[in-house]
Amino acid sequence: MRVLGFLFVAGLALVLAIPCGAAVLTLGAMLDPATSETLSRLGLVGLFTGLEDLASGIGPETLLFALAAIGRALFVLLVVPPALVAVLGAVLGWRAATWYGAGTGLLTALVPWLARGLTRTGPSADALVLEGRITAVLFLTGAASGLVYWLIAGRHAGAPSENGRA
């Protein structure tokens, strides 16, 4: 019975942590001028390309595929890191806020780097600075969702303490 209660609380914590991470990602993208410019440039290019494709006769399924790709990317950035850190924290009995905050933040920030094989996008120093800013926004996104999870369920993860409470 105790396990079912923890699974319910952990699921609820993830359901609340994921939108918090999405909000921080949105806020970070809006407040950081370089990140905002890069994302808007990429978004506008994709929008114009999609509109041109629709005008030239390519069907709307192309837009559905693009939306599915965006959805997968957001899933990998917003859902996988807090879920993975939550499972590891529960299995290993780690209850520290630093594990949930920093662990989720580091994993979220590393996702784009791991996806492209830890290589830089450009040879210039400007490209490295831009990547650093985006990595910082992603770290804050993961840290926020990890800390929300910890506040709700992570403090009670793992083995019970000495006084018998979980």
Q: Is residue 38 in some structural domain?
A: no
For the chain, what is the domain count?
1
Q: Is residue 161 in some structural domain?
A: no
Range of the domain at 135: 13-33+76-156
Only one residue has tokens 């996806």, namely 115
What Rg value do the Cα atoms of the chain yield, rounded?
19
Instruction: Report the 10 Å Cβ neighbour count for 29.
Output: 17
Q: Is residue 113 in some structural domain?
A: yes
Q: Is residue 7 in some structural domain?
A: no
Q: Tell me, what's the pLDDT at 58?
A: 63
User: Residue 91: pLDDT band by 50, 70, 90 thresholds?
Assistant: confident
Q: Average pLDDT, whole number, for the chain?
A: 78
Q: Is residue 145 in some structural domain?
A: yes
Residues 16, 17, 22: CA angle, nearest 5 degrees: 105
Q: Is residue 17 in some structural domain?
A: yes
Q: Is residue 22 in some structural domain?
A: yes
Q: Is residue 99 in some structural domain?
A: yes
